[in-house]
């Protein structure tokens, strides 16, 4: 699933994001990655834990703020590399899509333009 929230200032984007995260963080995730371009909207979630879909243990939320663009790069690279492995695993199982109980990763990026406009990491 992919979700993009856009709109004018004061149109309810942050409210929608918080409603989404409040619901989403109740689910079981293998990993949760939060990239916060302004260091504002996602900070309340940075110290939360979620139940891992793999073993039922608590998993930490990985939070990276606007001063950690090097970590954004690493996290997104790891995420992209993991997709190749995930698709290969699905193909071996004869599936075209993950089953409902398969482990999932939640990736949330707020204020993505902060990273995109950076001289070093924006490329």
pLDDT greater at residue 2 or residue 34: 34
- Which residues make Cβ contacts (< 8 Å) with residue 90, sequence separation at least 6? 96, 97, 98
pLDDT attached to residue 37:
92
Could you give the CA distance from residue 123 to residue 72 in angstroms, rounded to a whole number?
A: 12
Q: By mean pLDDT, which of 11-15, 49-53, 100-104 is the weakest?
A: 49-53
pLDDT attached to residue 57:
58
Q: Per residue in 81-100, pLDDT tens?
A: 988 888 888 899 998 888 87
Q: Mean of the pLDDT values across residues 7-18?
A: 92
Quick one: which H or E segment has residue 34? strand 31-36
Give the chain's largest Cα–Cα span: 47
Could you give the CA distance from residue 51 to residue 31 in angstroms, rounded to a whole number?
A: 9
Helix (H, G, I), strand (E, B) or coil at 88: helix
Q: Per residue in 22-77, pLDDT tens?
A: 888 888 788 899 999 999 999 988 887 776 555 565 667 899 999 999 999 999 99
Could you give the CA distance from residue 96 to residue 89 in angstroms, rounded to a whole number?
A: 10
Could you give the CA distance from residue 13 to residue 56 in angstroms, rounded to a whole number?
A: 32
Rounded-to-5 percentages of helix, strand, coil across the chain: 35, 20, 45
Q: Mean of the pLDDT values across residues 13-23?
A: 91
């Amino acid at each position: 699933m992919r979700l993009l929230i856009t709109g004018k200032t004061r149109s309810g984007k942050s409210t929608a994001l918080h409603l989404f995260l409040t619901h989403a963080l109740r689910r079981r995730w293998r990993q949760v990655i939060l990239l916060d371009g302004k260091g504002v909207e996602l900070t309340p979630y940075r110290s939360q834990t979620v139940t891992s879909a793999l073993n039922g243990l608590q998993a930490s939320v990985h939070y990276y703020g606007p001063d950690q663009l090097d970590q954004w790069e690493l996290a997104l690279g790891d995420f992209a590399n993991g997709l190749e492995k995930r698709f290969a695993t699905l193909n071996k199982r004869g599936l075209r899509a993950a089953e409902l109980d398969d482990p999932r990763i939640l990736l949330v990026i707020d204020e993505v333009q902060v990273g995109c406009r950076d001289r070093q990491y924006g490329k």
